[in-house]
Amino acid sequence: MIRFIDTFRDRFGVELICRILGATARGFITSRGYRAAKTRTPAARTVRDEVLVEEVRRVHAANYGVYGARKMWHALRRAGWDVGRDQTARLMRLAGVTGVVRGRKPRTTVPGSIPDHRPDLVMRDFKAPAPNQLWVADITYVRTSCGFVYTAFVIDAYSRRITGWATRSSMTTEALSLEALEHALNTAQGSTDQLVHHSDYAEDFVIPRNRALARAGTDR
């Protein structure tokens, strides 16, 4: 509460802030209590925290801003500060610093081992005169609490509507890309006889089930 009043006292005044908030917050600090708190000698923990927070910021900056709570705790102990790990985490929150989370970034594009000679049927022109004339596809990834998952989308170039999608924990053509394409074909409205499916996937999309899927295999 003291910090809140300090922030807005120059704009509204201490008495007005305490009077308005006191009407809705039972037991809220009064203007007399605020002034008493401001003149009261700071607690030993508060004084020590102020010193340690500056030390945390210094150590964090000296180590390229990558230290988390565990490494920061060891660094402070080496510097002679008697602090615990939980206390270090609290001080880092007060200092507004965090560690870098290391991890391998998922790859959604992998170069093929052999040249891709399939023709570009659309010649990089991603415009369509009508629905179900051109579908374009891509893969992305989403971070979840259980790790990364890959998601494939099929988008109609005419309406920009997502016509099919699939989500998997692994990025394989059969389990992800083709599933998204099959989903789009199964839910498509209208004829798909003139459909071209364009993607940057490294593997061929040849499924001899219908003409749309066969044509999809001719474009990369």
Tell me what the mean pLDDT of segment 192-205 comes to: 66
Out of 3.40.1130.10, 3.30.420.10, 3.30.70.260, 3.40.50.300, select the CATH number for domain 134-216: 3.30.420.10
The answer to whether 59 and 75 have CB atoms below 8 angstroms apart is yes
pLDDT exceeding 70 applies to what percent of the chain? 76
Give the range among 39-48, 97-106, 179-188 with minimum mean pLDDT. 97-106
What tens digit of pLDDT does each residue of 27-72 get? 567 777 777 777 777 788 888 999 999 999 999 999 988 899 999 9
> Higher pLDDT residue, 29 or 195?
195
**Ramachandran class of 59: left when φ > 0, alpha when ψ lies in -120 to 50, beta otherwise:** alpha
Confidence class of residue 202 from pLDDT cuts 50, 70 and 90? very low
pLDDT for the residue 216: 43
Amino acid at 124: R
**Biggest CA pair distance of the chain:** 83
pLDDT for the residue 4: 81
What tens digit of pLDDT does each residue of 124-147 get? 777 888 888 888 888 888 777 777
The answer to whether 85 and 73 have CB atoms below 8 angstroms apart is yes
Domain ranges of the chain: 2-95, 134-216
Torsion of CA 105, 108, 110, 116, to 10 degrees: -170
Q: How far is CA 126 from CA 84, 129, 139, 159, 199, in A?
A: 59, 10, 17, 12, 11
